[in-house]
Every structure is written in structure tokens, then in C-alpha cells.
Amino acid sequence: MFVNIFYQLIDIVKTNFFTIVLLTIFTNVIQYYINYFNRPSKIPGPLPLPIIGNFHQIGANFTVSLKRLHEKYGDFYEFYTGSTHNIVISRPDLVEKVWGPVSLKNTKFILRTSYSEGLNELGVGTKGMVFNRNIEGWVLNRRFMNTISAPSFLRESINLSNKVIDQVFEYWKIINKEGMQIDVCEWLNTVGADVVSTTATGKSVAATTKLFNSLNIENKKSLQGIWENGVKFCQSIHLYNESMAFMMLIPAKLRRNLPFISSINKKYLDNRDWIYKELDRVVSEKQKEIENTPLSQHLKPNILTLLLTTNTERDLDKISVGKFERPLTKDEVISIIREVFTGGLDTTSSTLSIIMFYLAKHRDVYLKMRQEVLDVYGSLNNPVLTLESYGKLKYIEAVIYESIRMFPTVSNMPRTATEDIELDGFIIKADTTVHTDFLVLNHNPKYFKDPETFNPDRFLTDKESILKYVYIPFGNGVRACPGRAWAMVQMKTFLVKLVCIFDIDSNDKNDAPKFSYHTVNRPADIYINVKTEIVNI
């Protein structure tokens, strides 16, 4: 009898407990939507769910998701990642408010993103430059990064790029004789890795050599590089870039506790640790090399040497940042070098892959580029490339700009206001991330005639008709890309050398390149045929 009564009491407690839990969840959901529908700024956008926000509508490909949301909600809308509020704009008057101010004093959008625990875990929320929310530290790092726009640095970059590209094109000649196609994305990733690693540290990772050797062409082998873990390091940087969107968009509780998500989270954090240890080793080796070099002996210029000698007796290029007079700490050096790789590897190589996709489909454009090289240098036979001559390559520059317009590697860019601000009649709270959708802007027929047509001439004959805040491929104002001049030098070097040596074509029937989203848009499956028998213009 007493046993039966005991079990009945347990059933009552269970029933009441689950009832209370369900009522609590129900009440919280109701309160969530009451707050949502009563919010002061009712911006268009998809209805979010409690806890996850609009993750179920975003998906893995952020670029495709934003395009779909734009089709439904227009040039100004909102979405939520968890409880984090995001705004998306794709109208020039709104873009001007975000990107227009050209001084630190005047801009309200100095921050890259809203506060993110995930970015702090990656080590970029308060360090480096791209996501650094510490303004004083950001200004310091920005000053150092601006040195890569100095003429002396760009001239050295041309020389280094030239050497890497010459070696790659020798490989391509062999591949041509073997009747094989060129995997453009794979090759340009390795070109970027070798150029960036040599420029940043003075050591080549020899990624192009390793790729060539992997083809197993008989009796055709080349020496490996001098950075032992270099190729793995560059692959880890690609993974690190991929992890940024994941860590930024997915709330910490979900990343750490959901079974499948938590394993991805661990993979990204382990990768972060390995990169730091590898850079710590590389920086330590460079420090010893500098210490063992007599003061009278010239040091080879590279970014790492510049950073390690700043405000020391070996200072190569005196840096003045307010009252900053001390040498950089090792941790500061590692953060800056890491950003040279994260910013330099993915974007330039991916953009070059996109350019190659369109050039292989537009022979008339390719021939115009070759004619321009002939006009500027007088010969296609090993022209002498100089920084001054690059300013004359207007058509090649237009090809680069049009390729970025057609398919930007960075198709959306976030900025965050430091205070409440009005946008399109709505008050946007401070620390709300505002994404500028460049892909939508660049394909809007209001701003570009025949936007789906690849036409570099629009940046020559119709350049004045392009509104400034419709097309800003490298950003604008205080948050403009500090590596834009370096990127243009690398791309022009590659393209000039390409048209001098090869004819190219492609069997690809697609109008746009295939790609996947990994914080940036990475093109994939771009294959071309190269021929060394150049057809006369």
C-alpha cells in the first residue's frame, strides 16, 4: 500500500516538474517574441527563432544566403545570429555613412565587428588589426601594416614575385608538354604562399615546388623549400581564416556543447595553437639570426625583420606612432605577422583565380592585355618590370577591377558603430554589426550597365559614371585595406608575365566560377589549357 502511494507521489512530482519546464519554455518563447515585435526599430528581415536566431536560414554559404535574403527583403534588412543583431546594406547612400569618413576622428564605424567571444578565443579580438577592438592597438598595428605600401617594399615585392612566377611558369611549360591541364586555384594558392612567406619572413615555403613534385612527372623533380613546416603552415592559415566566420557567428554555448559543432570548435582552436607555436619558432629563429649579424652587415628586408628591429639599434625604417618608442614584444610581432598571412594568402590568390576564369573565356580581353604590355614595354620577351611602369597598365588594372566586380573574393564586409547611429530612418544600436553586401551592389543594374557581362572597358570609358560608394573593392577611409597596393603589384606581375609567355583557353561552360564560402569566397575547379605557341595579335 505504502509502495503504491510512494509511486503515485513520484508521478505527481514528475508531471508537475515537466509541466513547470514546459510552461517556463513557453513563457520565455512568448516573452522573446513580445520583445521582438515590440522592438523600436522594425527593420525588414526573416523571423528569428529563440536561441539560434536565423541560423537555420543562413546555412554554410553566407554569400549565397545574403543574396537570397536580399531578393526577399531588399537593400536594407536585418537578421540574427543567436541573439546578436546584424544589419545588411546594399545601397550607396548607406554605404557612404559606413565607409565614407576618411579620418579616425570622424568615423563612427572604426570597429570591424561587434563583440565576439569566439574571435577573442582565436586571439584576434584584442590583437592584430582586422578584428582588434582595442583602438590604440589597432592604430599601432595599422601604422606597421602601412609600410607594405611603401615604394621600397613594393619594388622588393615585384622582384620576389617575379622569381616565384618564373619558376611556376617553367613548371607550366612542362605540364603543357605532358598534355595536362592547369588546376588554377591550386597553383595560385601555392604562388600566393611562396610570395607571402618570402616577403613576410625571408623564407620560402616552396609550395609551388611541392605541388609540381606531387604531379609525379617522370624525371622532373625540384628541390624542397627552406621552411620545414611551411606548406602545412599555409594550409593552417587557410583553416584559420575559415574558422573566423564559424567562431564569430555561432554562440559559445552552441560551439562548446553540441556534439558535432563542438568537435569543429576543438579543431579550430587546436589549429590556432599550432599556428602560434609555429610562428613563435619562426620569430625566435629570426631574432637569433639578427642578434648574430654584425651591425655593419646589411639585413635582408622583409616584414619580420622590420618588426623585430623597430626602435632598436638595427631599426630599418623608423616607425612613429604617438609616444611609441619601445621595441615590439614577441607577442605583438606574432600577431602582426599572422595577419600578414591571413590577409595575404586567401584574397590575392583567390582573386587571381577569378581573373583567370574570365580571361580563359574572353580571348579578346586577353589579347588587349598583351597589346598593352607590348605598348608599355616594347617587347614580350622578358620585359623589365618596374613599379613606375605598373602605373601605365591601365587596361590590366581594369581587368582586375572588373573581375573583382563580377565575383569579389570578399563579397560582404562587416563594420560596427561605436555609438547609436541612424541608418535609413532607423536607430541602430552601438555594437551592431552592419554588413555591406558588395556582390549585390556590384550586380545592380541601377549602377552598372549589363552587370552580368564581363566588360573591363567599363572601368576605362565609363569610369566616371560609376558611383564611388557602389564600387569600393578595397574598402574606403580609415578601414581601407592596407595591403591593396601590395595585392595589385602581385596581380600585375603575374598577369604581365602570363600574357608574355602563354596563350590560354578553357572548356568550362559555366558563366560564373564555382566557389565555397570560408569567411572569403574561395573559387574551385577552375582548369585551363596553356600553350607556349603564342598566336600573333
List residues forming the annotated binding site for heme. Answer: 481
Asked if residue 109 lies in contact with residue 479, where contact means CB atoms within 8 angstroms, the answer is yes
Radius of gyration of the chain (CA): 26
Tell me how far apart the alpha carbons of residues 168 and 250 are, in angstroms, rounded to a whole number.
Answer: 40
Tell me how far apart the alpha carbons of residues 458 and 9 are, in angstroms, rounded to a whole number.
Answer: 80
Cβ burial 340-378 (10 Å sphere, 16+ → b, else e): bbbbbbbbbbbbbbbbbbbbbbbeebbebbbebbeebbe
Q: What are phi and psi of 68, to 5 degrees?
A: -65, -40
CA atoms within 13 A on the CB side of 460: 12
Alpha-carbon dihedral of residues 517, 522, 525, 530, nearest 10 degrees? 170
For the record, the C-alpha cell of 182 comes out as 592547369
Tell me how far apart the alpha carbons of residues 531 and 205 are, in angstroms, rounded to a whole number.
Answer: 28
Tell me how far apart the alpha carbons of residues 113 and 100 are, in angstroms, rounded to a whole number.
Answer: 17
Give the DSSP H/E element, type plus range, for residue 369. helix 363-377
Helices first, then strands: H and E counts in the chain:
20, 11
**514 has which bridge partners?**
524
Could you tell me the end-to-end alpha-carbon distance of the chain, in angstroms, rounded to an integer?
103
